[in-house]
A and B are shown apart, each in its own frame.
Chain A
């Protein structure tokens, strides 16, 4: 069975600095998607970034980028120039290409220090 592990329950970073959140996953599949979701105190889960496993190029969305290491089954999220609005729970999720079900990590709470 596929599993997703986020080993950092909580991280903190100074405003304007860079932080990296870790995610590892376990799968025997070769085709899949990986996602990072953000859940702010408002509780609304928002997609931050996604990566298709067949793409070697790391996905980027403005200040958010990923480091996708397929062989190591690692999918970390880098947030550059951290802003107070980035404070939230961040969840890593996996989905098989042939299935709709998302497998979630337990989340990392990100604290931004002003």
Chain B
């Protein structure tokens, strides 16, 4: 595997289910990100981790719970979601956060989540 991978690619879940999204980066990066992409809206940054420590939590509802056990893996645990949470969830990684310099963010293919 190369780059950033995400599993599953598609997920359908009921509002009472608990599921997890997985992201893995094979690039040796130190920073990882979760984004939510809804149709015709700008990407929304949800969470940012740097060296396994969370550095950003953009007022995301508690029904979304991130976990970063090491710098290569990032999870998004989901529980009691709402239909409006249906979206494409993208994971990205970068060498470092890049404040003051530029580090490209590399994206995974996303998980298409449908909440019924």
Contact = CB atoms under 8 A, between A and B. Distances in A.
B107 A101 contact: no
B104 A102 contact: no
Interface residues of A, number: 24
A42 B5 CA distance: 13
B43 A43 contact: no
A50 B98 CA distance: 14
A44 B102 contact: no
Contacts of A100: 31, 48, 94, 97-99, 103
B61 interface: no
B9 to A, nearest CB: 9
Interface size class of B (residues with CB under 8 A): 20 to 34
A9 B42 CA distance: 12
A45 B42 contact: no
Question: Main SS of chain A's interface residues?
Answer: loop
A43 B110 contact: yes
A50 to B, nearest CB: 7
A44 B42 contact: no
B40 A106 contact: yes
B108 A44 contact: yes
Q: Which of A9, A33, A101 has the most CB of B within 10 A?
A: A101
A104 interface: yes
B105 interface: yes
Contact of A45 (B31, B99, B102, B107): B107
Contacts of B100: 97-98
A91 B97 CA distance: 20
Interface of B: 31, 40-43, 45, 48, 56, 88, 90, 92, 94, 97-100, 102-105, 107-110, 112
Given A91-B43, A98-B99, A107-B42, 20 more contacts: A9-B40, A33-B102, A43-B88, A43-B109, A43-B110, A43-B112, A44-B109, A45-B90, A46-B107, A50-B104, A52-B102, A95-B102, A98-B100, A100-B48, A100-B94, A102-B45, A103-B42, A104-B43, A105-B42, A106-B42
